[in-house]
Structure 1
Amino acid sequence: MTGFIKELLLDSGETLINVPTDRPTLVALGFSEARADELCLDAERVAKSVAVGAARRALYVAEADPLFLEWQYDETPEKEKAWRDKVAEIKALYPLPDRT
């Protein structure tokens, strides 16, 4: 997956923006192969996290928020359960990536 590192600090103290996350580019910038691999993996994790967050937000707006509003209006345990179940369903459908 080729993406971009939003901001990258070089050993020289110089900050680069929107650096391609491919190993040859990072090695050419002076990073070791191991560090280049780490940077690529970190960028991939960030991209996955952003994608999961966007997918969750879209479903919350489309499916969970209307149920929340119904619960706020009716204040019944059934409406609250429907809303909470929908939120749990969305979280299960799009789990957050591991931070390890």
Structure 2
Amino acid sequence: MTNTIAKLQTPGGEDLINVPCDLLVLIALGFPEDRAKELIATAQKEAELAFLVAARRAAYVAEADPLFLEWQYDETAEKEKAWRDKVAEIKARYPLPERT
């Protein structure tokens, strides 16, 4: 997974943007290896979360929103259940990590 770190301050105090998530690059910028690995892991988690949020959003728009509109129009229990079931299906398909 090719990621970048959006904002980063080097150990020397220099502010950088869009730094590649590459161990050798981070070490060359003055980070100890263990800190560089932490930065990479954090950036990967952030990228995975961003992907899941975007995928959920797209699925809601394409799949759940039309069902919601049908329910709003018809106001039947069946339409509401179909919409809520679709939302639950999307959440199961793209589970977000537990908040700590």
Q: TM-score, normalised by structure 2?
A: 0.91
Cα shift at 1:3:
1.1
SS at 2:12's partner residue?
coil
Deviation of 1:99 after TM superposition, in Å, equals: 4.9
Tell me the residue number matched to 2:18: 18
Aligned mates of 1:78, 1:51 — CA distance in 2: 32
Amino acid at match of 1:61: V
Q: Do the aligned partners of 1:22 and 1:40 also contact (CA within 8 Å) in 2?
A: yes
- What's the CA shift string for 1:74-96, capped at 9, x where partnerless? 11111111111100000100111
Question: 2:26 and 2:93 mapped to 1: Cα distance?
Answer: 34
Could you tell me the percent identity over the aligned residues?
Answer: 67
Q: Deviations over 1:2-53 (max 9, x none)?
A: 3100111223332100000011111111111111001000110111111111
Structure-1 separation of matches of 2:13 and 2:71 = 53
Following superposition, the deviation at residue 97 of structure 1 comes to 3.1
- Closer, same or farther in 2 for the Cα pair 1:2/1:99, shift >3 Å? farther
Is 2:50 aligned against 1:40?
A: no
Structure 1: unaligned runs, 5 residues or longer:
none
Structure 1 residues 99 and 45 mapped into 2: Cα distance closer, same or farther (>3 Å)?
farther
Aligned CA RMSD, in angstroms, stands at: 1.4
Which amino acid letter does the alignment assign opposite residue 14 of structure 1? E
Structure 1 counterpart of 2:92: 92
- Aligned partner of 2:69 in structure 1 is 69
2:19 corresponds to 1:27: no
Gaps of 5+ in 2: none
Q: Which amino acid aligns with 2:71?
A: W
Distance 1:38 1:99, change over 3 A: farther
